[in-house]
C-alpha cells in the first residue's frame, strides 16, 4: 500500500520534502532507539521503471521511511503529472548533510558497497573532509553471504549505514534485512562511494544547476546509453498518464 501522503509519480510515492526537511526527519530517526533499521531511498526514473515490473523492488521502496526524489527526470514527470514535488533532493548532497551531523555528534557510520577497496578509500577521504567523523567499518558490495555481512555490520555498532549496491539491489537488500540490522538509519546511495573515493566524478555545479547531470554522466560513461534511453520514455509515459488522467502509467 502506498503511503497516502506521498506524491505518486508513475506508481512510486515520493515524499514532497525540501532537502532541509529530509535531513531533519533523518536526524529524528538517528535519535530514536530500538526496532528495525529505518531506511531512505532516492529513486531516479530508472528505479521507478524497475518498480513497475518488480514488485519486490516496489515494496522495498514503499516501505522506506523516506522516498526522496533524486534525478531531474522524477521532478519533470511530477510536473507533467500536475502534482509537483517541492524540489530535487540529490542523494549525495543529502548524504553530505548527514555526514556533517554524524561528525558533530559522534554517530558511527558504516559504508557498504562498491568494488573491493573502494569503501576504504572513500572512508579515508570522508574522514579527511569531515573532522571527527567516525567510520566504524566498511565492506565491499560483491558478496553472497548476507548473514556474514550483517554480523560484521552489527559487530561494528554503527548508528548509520550507507548502502551502495546499485539499484534495485540496495533497496531490496535493506528491505529484506532491516529487521536483522541494529543500526538506526540506512541510506541507499548508488554510486556515492565511487564518487567519494574519486573514481567517479560528479558533474560540475553549473551542469547540476541546469539539470544536466545525466548528460555529463553519459558523456563520461557512454556505455550507460542503454540505461539512459529510458529517461525520455519515462517522460513520455508521464505525458500519457496525464492525458489519461491517472498517475500510475
Question: Residue 127 or 169: which CB sits closer to ligand UDP?
Answer: 169
Pick the stretch among 11-19, 79-87, 144-152, 191-199 that binds ligand UDP (CB under 6 A). 191-199
Q: Please, where are the H alpha helices in 160-229?
A: 169-177, 192-197, 205-209, 213-220, 225-228
Residue 128: which region, alpha, beta or left (left: phi > 0; alpha: psi -120 to 50)? alpha
H-run or E-run covering 105: helix 91-105
> Tell me, what DSSP letter sits at residue 37?
P
Alpha-carbon span 9 to 29, nearest angstrom:
25
Locate 24 and state its grid cell.
Answer: 531533519
> In angstroms, what is the minimal distance from the CB of 45 to ligand UDP?
11
Question: Residue 15 or 46: which CB sits closer to ligand UDP?
Answer: 46
Listed residue (43, 34, 52) closest to 14, CA to CA: 43
Question: Residue 76 or 81: which CB sits closer to ligand UDP?
Answer: 76
State which of residues 164, 174, 175, 241 lies at the interface with ligand UDP (CB under 6 A).
164
The closest residue (CB) to ligand UDP is: 141
Q: Which of residues 12-41 bind ligand UDP (CB under 6 A)?
A: none
Q: Alpha carbon 240 to chain centroid distance?
A: 27
> In angstroms, what is the minimal distance from the CB of 47 to ligand UDP?
8
Question: Residue 188 or 241: which CB sits closer to ligand UDP?
Answer: 188
Residue 193 lies near ligand UDP (rule: CB under 6 A): yes
State which of residues 11, 43, 158, 190 lies at the interface with ligand UDP (CB under 6 A).
190
H-run or E-run covering 239: helix 230-244
Describe the chain by its helix, strand, coil percentages, rounded to 5.
Answer: 50, 15, 35
Count residues binding ligand UDP (CB under 6 A): 14
State which of residues 115, 201, 244, 248 lies at the interface with ligand UDP (CB under 6 A).
115
Question: Residue 45 or 247: which CB sits closer to ligand UDP?
Answer: 45
Interface with ligand UDP (CB under 6 A): 113-115, 141-142, 164-167, 169, 190-191, 193-194
Amino acid at each position: 500500500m502506498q503511503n497516502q501522503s506521498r506524491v505518486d509519480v508513475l506508481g512510486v510515492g515520493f515524499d514532497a520534502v525540501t532537502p532541509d526537511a529530509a535531513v531533519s526527519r533523518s536526524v529524528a530517526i538517528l535519535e530514536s532507539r530500538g526496532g528495525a533499521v529505518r531506511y531512505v531511498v532516492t529513486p531516479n526514473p530508472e528505479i521507478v521503471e524497475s518498480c513497475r515490473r518488480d514488485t519486490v523492488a516496489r515494496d522495498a521502496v514503499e516501505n522506506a521511511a523516506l522516498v526522496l526524489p533524486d534525478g531531474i527526470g522524477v521532478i519533470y514527470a511530477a510536473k507533467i503529472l500536475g502534482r509537483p514535488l517541492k524540489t530535487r533532493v540529490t542523494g549525495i548532497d543529502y548524504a553530505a548533510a548527514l555526514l556533517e551531523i554524524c561528525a558533530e555528534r559522534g554517530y558511527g557510520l558504516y559504508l557498504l558497497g562498491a568494488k573491493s577497496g573502494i569503501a576504504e578509500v572513500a572512508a579515508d577521504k570522508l574522514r579527511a573532509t569531515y573532522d571527527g567523523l567516525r567510520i566504524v567499518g566498511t565492506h565491499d558490495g560483491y558478496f553472497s553471504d548476507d548473514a556474514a555481512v550483517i554480523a560484521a555490520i552489527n559487530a561494528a555498532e554503527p548508528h548509520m549505514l550507507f548502502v551502495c549496491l546499485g539499484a534495485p539491489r540496495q533497496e531490496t537488500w535493506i528491505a529484506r534485512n532491516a529487521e536483522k540490522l541494529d543500526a538506526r538509519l540506512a541510506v541507499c546511495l548508488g554510486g556515492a562511494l565511487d564518487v567519494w573515493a574519486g573514481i567517479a566524478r560528479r558533474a560540475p555545479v553549473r551542469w547540476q544547476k541546469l539539470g544536466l547531470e545525466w548528460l555529463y554522466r553519459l558523456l563520461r560513461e557512454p556505455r550507460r546509453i542503454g540505461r539512459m534511453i529510458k529517461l525520455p520514455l519515462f517522460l513520455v509515459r508521464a505525458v500519457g498518464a496525464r492525458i489519461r488522467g491517472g498517475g500510475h502509467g
